[in-house]
A = this chain, B = another copy of it.
């Protein structure tokens, strides 16, 4: 039995200009363009191996060691698109094995706990699509492939690049111009760091797809956000990245996070993702920036209470010094335990109980896009190891 396999890793990305609102739910076409920073895969990544063989009668998926099967419409849509592209190759060159007709085995694993509430679907769909594109030896560019990942999970398209990434919303109804592009590679501005404060929450958040639909349908302020606020910010943020201007980048990042949560609150019924702990972290970062007289740290919050704090390496002792002072009790500092003594002792006053609302900290940084890997999650029979 001949089994063809391929493996890839794919990163998590955290938007600094938020995607919120679909103009087409099936195709995952957004109501506005967005921008993200790709995070380092040593801390957060999905590893996906795929296998195909003439002997495989059907598709199957194993996620974090559990056989899930292919259930989701979105996964099916991605597989369909990838097979179509493979088929084009096979039609051009009849010597190619007919992989497009065979079953696919997909085995996927995250190196971080799903329970952390970090959007793992972006990394997951990016890895799935890239692994199969590799398996199929598709000649398309990453931007082209990103359109397929987009159908899996909108923000997944941004995980096809490292560094600073834009998802251009596009105009076309069929979504063929709604794709990810590189704003700047990792090497352009490699000093970007991120601290993720995983905030505990007792309530279940509104799923982002449901939330987006509600905002689009009910928020009066949303129309202004997508028509006027985001388009300007999109250009300004790209410029701030081009100029490595953290002042502007940080301010836009914080403002856009607030704007996104504002239109959630303006939805009917209102949607709340920030909790009291999130708000405390926001205030802490503003206090730090005020004390410094400039923006050295910028928060952003996705559809949940977790805080992602971007900062530049040169300010690590100030930023992590402050966070460590008030959150040293939570796990996640082990990684840099030897550096903690070098932190500045912040004079900023803060709620000494705030750490109780945080379950862990993840210290990471900007990272690269999907990577080739010799690691494989499938054995020679194309089954999970």
Contact = CB atoms under 8 A, between A and B. Distances in A.
Select the residue from A259, A266, A276, A279 with max chain B CB neighbours within 10 A.
Answer: A266
Copy number of this protein in the oligomer? 2
A99 interface: no
A254 B276 CA distance: 21
A272 interface: yes
7 contacts: A220-B225, A220-B228, A223-B224, A254-B268, A258-B267, A262-B266, A275-B276
Given A220-B229, A224-B221, A225-B221, A266 B275 contact: no
Given A275-B276, A276-B275, A276-B276, A220 B259 contact: yes
A223 B223 CA distance: 12
A228 B228 CA distance: 14
B266 A259 contact: yes
A265 B268 contact: no
Contacts of A268: 251, 254-255, 258
A103 B263 CA distance: 51
Interface of A: 220-221, 223-225, 228-229, 251, 254-255, 258-259, 261-263, 265-270, 272, 275-276, 279, 282-283, 286
Nearest to A277: B276
Contacts of A261: 265
Nearest to A263: B262
- Secondary structure at the A interface, as helix, strand, loop or mixed, is helix
Contacts of A228: 220, 224
Given A220-B228, A221-B266, A262-B266, 17 more contacts: A220-B259, A221-B221, A221-B225, A221-B229, A223-B224, A254-B268, A258-B266, A258-B268, A258-B270, A259-B266, A261-B265, A262-B262, A265-B265, A269-B283, A269-B286, A270-B282, A272-B279
Nearest to A270: B258
A48 B265 CA distance: 39
A192 to B, nearest CB: 21
A283 B263 CA distance: 17
A236 B360 CA distance: 48
A275 B275 CA distance: 8
A172 to B, nearest CB: 28
Contacts of A286: 269
A270 B278 CA distance: 12
A283 B261 CA distance: 17
A254 B266 CA distance: 10
Contacts of A224: 220-221, 223-224, 228
A279 B278 CA distance: 14
Nearest to A251: B268
Nearest to A222: B221
Contacts of A220: 224-225, 228-229, 255, 259
Contacts of A272: 279
A266 B265 CA distance: 10
Contacts of A276: 275-276
5 closest cross-chain pairs (CB), A and B: A224-B224, A262-B266, A262-B262, A262-B265, A269-B286
A9 to B, nearest CB: 36
A246 B282 CA distance: 37
Question: Could you say which of A220, A267, A272 has the most chain B C-beta atoms within 10 Å of its C-beta?
Answer: A220
Nearest to A272: B279
A251 B262 CA distance: 18
